[in-house]
């Protein structure tokens, strides 16, 4: 598949190769650097005490969990990133009108992404991470 990140429907896309993950990270980082996010995004960062460096560290981190999940309102696929040391969750929307959606601090990130996010499926998990529990 040439460019899976333009798609909204990833039902068929189950096999996330390392190259795909690397392209995903690069794309989200590029969109962040291009300022592709909602107009309240920067205000949210400031009020939540989150720096751009925090977000970049989550997006780049080898220990970062990456998950695909469905937006509970629109039911479209989204990508979530959560880093266990930084304890920050970052949500990204794919597609032409996509970009960084939001981010917030979350301690119990694995539990959050596994049990709370709708239809969540792991895209990438760190090698020494906790086992992904099927719930």
Nearer to another protein by C-beta: 35 or 38?
38
User: b vs e for 50-74, b when ≥16 Cβ sit within 10 Å of the residue's Cβ?
Assistant: beeebbebbbebebbbbbbbbbeee
For the bound state, the minimum distance from the C-beta of residue 75 to another protein, rounded and expressed in Å, comes to: 9
Note the residues at the interface with another protein (CB under 8 A).
Answer: 38-41, 43-44, 47-48, 71-74, 78, 87, 89, 91, 93, 99, 101-102, 104-108, 111-112, 115-118, 135
Are the C-beta atoms of 118 and 70 separated by less than 8 Å? yes
State which residue, 17 or 96, has the beta carbon closest to another protein. Answer: 96
- Closest C-alpha among 67, 62, 70, 115 to residue 90: 67
**Which one, of 109, 122, 110, 43, lies nearest residue 79 by Cα?**
122
CB of residue 15 vs another protein: minimum separation in angstroms? 25
Nearer residue to another protein within complex by CB, 22 or 48? 48
Q: Give me the least distance between CB of 116 and another protein, in Å please.
A: 5
């Amino acid at each position: 598949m040439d460019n899976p990140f333009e798609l909204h429907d990833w039902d068929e896309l189950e096999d996330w190769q390392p190259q795909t993950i690397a392209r995903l990270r690069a794309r989200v980082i590029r969109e962040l650097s291009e300022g592709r996010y909602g107009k309240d995004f920067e205000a949210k960062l400031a009020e939540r005490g989150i720096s751009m460096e925090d977000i970049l560290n989550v997006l780049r981190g080898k220990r970062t969990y990456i998950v695909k999940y469905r937006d509970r309102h629109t039911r479209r696929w989204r990508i979530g990133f959560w880093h266990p040391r930084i304890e920050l969750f970052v949500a990204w929307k794919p597609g032409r009108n996509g970009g960084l959606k939001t981010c917030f601090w979350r301690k119990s990130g694995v539990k959050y992404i596994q049990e709370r996010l709708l239809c969540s499926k792991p895209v990438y998990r760190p090698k020494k991470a906790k086992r992904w529990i099927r719930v």
